[in-house]
Amino acid sequence: MPALLKARRIIVTGGASGFGRAICLRLAKDGAHVIVNCRTRHDEAATLVAEIERSGGSADVISADVTDGAAVRVMLEQQTAQGGIQGLVHAASAPLRDSRFGRTPWDSFEQHWRVAVQGAYNLTQAFIAQPESCSPESIVFILSSGTLGVPPGDKAAYITAKYALLGLARSLAVELAARRIRVNCLSPGFAETPLTAHVDPRVKELIARAVPLKRLAEPEEIAQAVAYLSGPNSGYLTGVNLPIAGGAVM
């Protein structure tokens, strides 16, 4: 297969585990140089980079808290000498907890807002501030299928932040179009990841039965869609929220 992402440098937040890990592997397979961003999972990120390099790919690890604007600016500025960053994938998420609204503290809303929305704000500000020679091209935000269909009833903090992130993406898609920077979202259905490891297996089985394709999403399927949105074959797509949900959202 052609290396569709060759010569592109793409940073993936939350890249050490879950969707982020699968995304890093796929982007590297398609020829991109992947920058694995993490805040705490340093050993897992290093193991991932080693796996990518053993497979003939190219990757680095950069530790930075996406909610820290100064740290994010430094992270992006450090990449300028290497050719900058052409693609940004924001997959980082605060911990996902099942909690009815009446028992959800405001701190939980703030935590999801900081990681999802403030993180996207900091990352995009630094991304578009790169010199023109760095040729920034594509931004992909990872949302949730809850932003497209009926949301779950016990994840108000998480879903609220994802809806805000969708609004930001659509606004950016319009504003940055003149600079040929595309901004898209991807909304995965329920999948087996560290973020959902706490969910009762019986609940997961019920979710799978309710999906037309009768199974949960695979992280690799989300990664494949991210690679498409990050590459040249999606060059006329911007402002899209792509559902990868097995038919649960139509």
Active site (annotated) includes residue 121:
no
Choose, from 121, 158, 228, 236, the residue flagged as catalytic: 158
Give the closest residue to 244 by CA, choosing from 226, 231, 204, 154: 226
Segments making up each domain of the chain, as ranges: 9-244
Q: Quick one: pLDDT at residue 9?
A: 98
Asked if CATH classification 3.40.50.720 holds for the domain at 9-244, the reply, yes or no, is: yes
Whole-number pLDDT of residue 2: 61
Does 1 score more than 60 pLDDT? no
What is the distance between the terminal CA atoms of the chain, rounded to a whole angstrom?
A: 30
* Cβ–Cβ under 8 Å, residues 227 and 184: no
pTM (2 decimals)? 0.94
Assess whether pLDDT exceeds 80 at residue 232: yes
pLDDT in the model for residue 100: 87
| Inter-CA distances, 133 with 2, 29, 34, 35, 81, Å | 25, 25, 19, 19, 11
| Mean pLDDT value across residues 58-64 | 95
8 Å CB contact between 130 and 136 = yes
How high is the pLDDT of residue 153?
A: 81
Rounded Cα distance between 4 and 81, Å, is 23
Tell me the mean pLDDT in the region 55-77.
96
Beta pairing partners, 11: 35, 88
Using 50, 70 and 90 to split pLDDT, how confident is the model at 83?
Answer: very high
* Bridge partner list, 59: 34
Residue 109: pLDDT over 60: yes
Q: Strand ranges (DSSP E) for 108-221?
A: 138-142, 182-188
* Mean per-residue pLDDT over the chain, rounded: 93
Q: What is the pLDDT of residue 97?
A: 80
Residue 233 pLDDT level (bands cut at 50, 70, 90): very high
Q: Report long-range pairs for 218-224 (Cβ below 8 Å, ≥24 apart).
A: 218/191, 219/18, 219/19, 219/21, 219/22, 219/191, 219/192, 219/193, 220/22, 220/26, 222/19, 222/22, 222/23, 222/142, 222/186, 222/188, 222/191, 223/19, 223/22, 223/23, 223/25, 223/26, 223/27, 224/26
The pair of three-digit structure tokens given for residue 183, joined into one six-digit string: 């901004």
**Over the stretch 8-48, which tens digit does the pLDDT of each residue have?**
999 999 999 999 999 999 999 999 999 999 998 999 999 99
Query: pLDDT tens for residues 116-169?
Result: 999 999 999 999 999 999 999 999 999 998 898 888 888 899 999 999 999 999
